[in-house]
Homo-oligomer: A and B are copies of this chain.
Amino acid sequence: MTATERTGADPLAACRISPAVDLLFSRWTTPILWTLSQSGPVRFVELERRLGATGKVLTQRLRQLERDGLVQRHYYAEVPPRAEYEITELGRSLSPVFAALAEWTDEHLPAVEQARDSYTGPLPR
């Protein structure tokens, strides 16, 4: 039994952006979407190289993003084969979100690092 079932809590009522967060900020999804939103179509191996992700997880995430309509796959049955991934219009609609995050990073991330350094309580690092 999950904690939610036990307590009868409603996570969605508590935080309405959680579904989007699960979608957009799971492992590897952000770097993929960010990279594709910055450049044109990118080959599979090139994504692998730039992000430092292994083929397996990259494939998993790309399939998921394709299913969700955020990324489009173009396959060319050449020899050797070529697969290019491109962001969709729906994917581009994330620009304001990413822009807000990038600005927050520039403005406030240093303050976080400073707070972390001067923190003395429990919890290592």
* Chain A interface residues (CB < 8 Å from chain B): 2-4, 6-7, 9-11, 14-21, 23, 25, 30-31, 34-35, 48-54, 63-64, 66-70, 90, 93-94, 96-105, 107-109, 111-112, 114-116, 119, 121-123, 125
Q: If the complex has contacts A35-B14, A63-B122, A67-B116, are A101 and B111 also in contact, measured as CB distance less than 8 A?
A: no
Q: Which residues of B contact A50 (CB under 8 A)?
A: 9, 14
How many copies of this chain does the complex contain? 2
Q: Is the CB of B112 within 8 A of A104?
A: no
Q: Is the CB of A108 within 8 A of B96?
A: no
For residue A72, give the distance in angstroms from its CB to the closest CB of chain B: 11
Q: Which residues of B contact A119 (CB under 8 A)?
A: 66-69
Q: Is the CB of A68 within 8 A of B34?
A: no
For residue A87, give the distance in angstroms from its CB to the closest CB of chain B: 13
Highest count of chain B CB atoms <10 Å: which of A93, A101, A111: A101
A53 to B18 CA separation, bound complex (whole angstroms): 14
Q: Is the CB of A34 within 8 A of B15?
A: yes
A118 to B93 CA separation, bound complex (whole angstroms): 20
Q: Which residues of B contact A17 (CB under 8 A)?
A: 30, 34, 98, 101-102, 105
| Ranked 3 nearest A-B pairs via Cβ | A69-B115, A9-B52, A4-B52
